[in-house]
Amino acid sequence: MGKEDLIRKRIYFDNSAATRMDERVLEAMNPYFFKNYAVATSEFAYSEGIDAREALDDLRSVLAASLGANSGEFIFTSGDTESSNLALKGIALALSKKKGNHIITSKIEDFPVLYSARAIEKQGFHVTYLKVDGDGFVDLDQLKDAITDKTILVSIQHANQEIGTIQDIEQIGHICKEKDVLFHSDATHAFTRIPLDVSQIPVDLVTVSGHTIHGPKGIGGLYIRKGTPITKWMDGGFQEFDMRPGLENIPGAAGFAKAVELATSEEILRLQAMRDRIIDRVLAEIPNTTLNGHRWKRLPQNANITFHFVEGESITLHLDMNGYAVSTGSACFSRSLESSHVIMGIGGDHERAHGSIRFTFGRYNTMSEVEDIVGTLGAIVKELRTISPLGKERTKATT
């Protein structure tokens, strides 16, 4: 791994962290920076405001239609973190006095949902964190059992951010509907990758974001089914049907809408082919590897594999020096020095989290990049295993 390796082309396999924005997205945003930069709230003051209002309405329709919703049911936010905060805290505020103070979520949710739930818990709510099985699935019977007459909301993600496992949100939605409980799903990583039609699936709130689909950062949205009791959580102006105050991010919305239009079913197949290729080759060619998450019921863009006896940050750093960007569930990598709560949640131990690497694919990746990384990975893992005290004596590895 010499200097010449450091200047080779960069290959980015961390598309669940952020995606490269599509140039066509930038083109769609451009007019709202330079031509019509007025805000929609100025519609009664001057004509530019009317143009802005009309543009925002059109963009909202695109986003709403992509989920099978009516345009009055979709609000723009700054991203998935804000959307999920609004969903959980907004429902809690609206229903705690009227109905109850119990919320159900899963142990492997992404941080916006998990920490919103914890924040609500501190306000005196009860939160049930459902366990998941070895592949990351929520048990539907456990969910049914957990719902009480005090339950106001179930929040279960559409697909997992780290291991890609896709939940059966249709069944979950039916269970919630039967028990008359609201259902929120964080679809940040599933949006446009796995079909979701709210006219068919009984889900009341859906979190989406632009940054995962080659759209801009800083724009996201929340689908709110008509009639859902939800209380505004941030204070300010009356934008977004008086649900989300703050200046409308019309350039962001334009980019987000364009990104949605550009996501095709052919692309899903391309991503899936890369996912399947890396999983098949790594598991076949590199010994002592474990796939995290379900083999098939997973996001088309996600592969997550544990390389036993070695530590993930060491793998990512070596890969980085070879031109590849990936991420890991290792405690060494996280700012809290804690192992991935997702890998621990699927019954993995620290060792499994420690050596886990997430590969997430996007529009600008090619199959030849996938073919290239496998050999490099094999060499890195082999090298690190010669340094590691684990693996040689298997007895030690089980301590």
Partner 1 sequence: MKFPYSEIVLEHFRHPRNVGQIEDADGKATEGSPSCGDMVSVYIKVDSDKKTISDIKFESYGCASNIATGSIITELAKGKTIDEAKKINWKTASEALGGLPKIKAHCSVLAVEGLRSAIQNYEERHGLVREKKPTTEEEIHKRLRKVMNPLSGLDIERTNLVKAVQLRNGIVHVAIDLPPEHQFSNSIREEVREKIEPLWDIQEVIVDFTS
Q: Which string of x and - marks every residue 93-132 that binds partner 1 (by CB under 8 A)? A: -------------------------x--------------
| Given 50, 262, 268, 331, the residue binding partner 1 (CB under 8 A) | 331
Question: Judged by CB under 8 A, does residue 313 bind partner 1?
Answer: yes
Question: Judged by CB under 8 A, does residue 349 bind partner 1?
Answer: yes
Closer to partner 1 at the Cβ: 75 or 88?
88
Residue written as tokens 């007019």?
31
Catalytic residue among 332, 374, 379, 397: 332
Question: Judged by CB under 8 A, does residue 337 bind partner 1?
Answer: yes
Strand, coil or helix: 291:
strand
Q: Are 49 and 362 in contact (CB under 8 A)?
A: no
Q: Which stretch binds partner 1 (CB under 8 A): 17-25, 225-233, 249-257, 310-318?
A: 310-318
183: enclosing H helix or E strand: strand 182-186
> What whole-number distance in Å separates Cα of residue 316 and Cα of residue 312?
6
Is 332 considered catalytic here? Answer: yes
Token readout for 104 is 């159900």
Closer to partner 1 at the Cβ: 89 or 354?
354
Max CA separation in the chain (angstroms): 76
Question: Judged by CB under 8 A, does residue 339 bind partner 1?
Answer: yes
User: Smallest gap, in angstroms, from Cβ of residue 389 to partner 1?
Assistant: 4
Closer to partner 1 at the Cβ: 97 or 335?
335
Strand, coil or helix: 197:
coil
Among residues 196, 208, 195, the alpha carbon closest in space to that of 76 is found at 208
Closer to partner 1 at the Cβ: 8 or 20?
8
| Given 34, 296, 336, 368, the residue binding partner 1 (CB under 8 A) | 336
Q: Are 245 and 127 in contact (CB under 8 A)?
A: no
Closer to partner 1 at the Cβ: 20 or 396?
396
User: Smallest gap, in angstroms, from Cβ of residue 122 to partner 1?
Assistant: 8
User: Smallest gap, in angstroms, from Cβ of residue 363 to partner 1?
Assistant: 24
> What whole-number distance in Å separates Cα of residue 23 and Cα of residue 86?
31
User: How many residues bind to partner 1 according to rule CB under 8 A?
Assistant: 32
Buried b (16+ CB within 10 A) or exposed e, 77-116: bbbbbbbbbbbbbbbbbbbbeebbbbbbbbbbbbebbbeb
User: Smallest gap, in angstroms, from Cβ of residue 386 to partner 1?
Assistant: 7
DSSP H helices, the chain, are 3-6, 23-34, 47-66, 80-95, 111-122, 140-146, 169-178, 239-242, 250-262, 265-285, 312-321, 341-345, 350-354, 367-387, 394-397
| Given 169, 250, 326, 390, the residue binding partner 1 (CB under 8 A) | 390
> What whole-number distance in Å separates Cα of residue 157 and Cα of residue 276?
23
| Given 6, 18, 45, 284, the residue binding partner 1 (CB under 8 A) | 6
Question: Judged by CB under 8 A, does residue 389 bind partner 1?
Answer: yes
Among residues 259, 257, 231, 255, the alpha carbon closest in space to that of 245 is found at 231
Q: Which stretch binds partner 1 (CB under 8 A): 128-136, 194-202, 371-379, 384-392?
A: 384-392
Question: Judged by CB under 8 A, does residue 309 bind partner 1?
Answer: yes
Question: Judged by CB under 8 A, does residue 14 bind partner 1?
Answer: no
Q: Which residues are catalytic?
A: 332
**Contact footprint for partner 1 (CB under 8 A):** 1, 6, 118, 309-314, 317, 320-321, 330-333, 335-339, 349-351, 354, 386-390, 397, 399
